[in-house]
């Protein structure tokens, strides 16, 4: 199916991406091409099939509830641009 500019804006918003009006036509064209390609799957009869989320025949493993000290906040926060007193800072969200 062909995507419209409105579709692209909506998907970009859901993905938290800014797509400029200059870029939009190229994204529209390429995503439409990709969707046409994956639309091929509509031809497959999948009525009796269970969805396959992953390839291993295992269920979620549980671990023992043991306390361990592995976090090193200062080390991890070295990779953050803006921190203060051990906190990550973001633009104000509450007026």
Partner 1 sequence: MTPLRLTIAEMSNLLAAGEISSTELVKDCLSRISEKDDSLNSFITVLNESALIAAKSADKLRKLDKAGPLTGIPMAHKDIFCAKGTITSCASKMLANFESPYDATVVERLSNAGMISVGKTNMDEFAMGSSSETSFYGPVTNPWNKSLSPGGSSGGSAAAVAAGLVPMATGTDTGGSIRQPAALCGITGFKPSYGRISRYGIVAFASSLDQAGVLALSAEDVALVMQEIAGFDPRDSTSADKPVPNYRASLDQSVKGRRIGVPKEYFNEGLDSDYADVIRTSLDVFSQMGAEICEVSLPNLSFAVPTYYVVCPAEASSNLSRYDGVRFGYRAENPIDLEDLYKRTRSEGFGDEVKRRIMTGTYVLSAGYYDAYYLKAQKVRQLIAEDLRRCFEQVDVLIGPTTPTTAFAIGEKIDDPVKMYLNDIYTVSANLAGLPAISIPCGIVNGLPTGLHLIGPQFEEARVLNFAHCFQTETNWHKFLPGSERN
The contact set with partner 1 (CB under 8 A) reads 7-8, 11-12, 14-19, 27, 30-31, 33-35, 37-38, 40-44, 46, 49-56, 58, 60-61, 63, 72, 75-76, 78-82, 88, 90-93
| Two tokens, residue 16 | 């938290």
**30-64 CB burial, b ≥16 within 10 A, e <16:** eebeeeeeeeeeeeeeeeeeeeeeeeeeeeeeeee
For residues 21 and 57, give the distance between their C-alpha atoms in angstroms, rounded to a whole number: 46
Element (H, E) at 84: strand 83-84
């Amino acid at each position: 199916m062909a995507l419209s500019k409105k579709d692209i804006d909506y998907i970009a918003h859901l993905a938290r991406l800014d797509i400029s009006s200059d870029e939009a036509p190229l994204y529209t064209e390429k995503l439409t091409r990709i969707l046409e390609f994956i639309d091929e799957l509509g031809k497959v009869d999948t009525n009796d099939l269970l969805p396959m989320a992953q390839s291993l025949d295992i269920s979620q493993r549980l671990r023992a509830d043991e306390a361990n000290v592995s976090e090193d906040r200062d080390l991890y926060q070295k990779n953050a641009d803006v921190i203060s007193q051990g906190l990550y800072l973001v633009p104000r969200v509450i007026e």
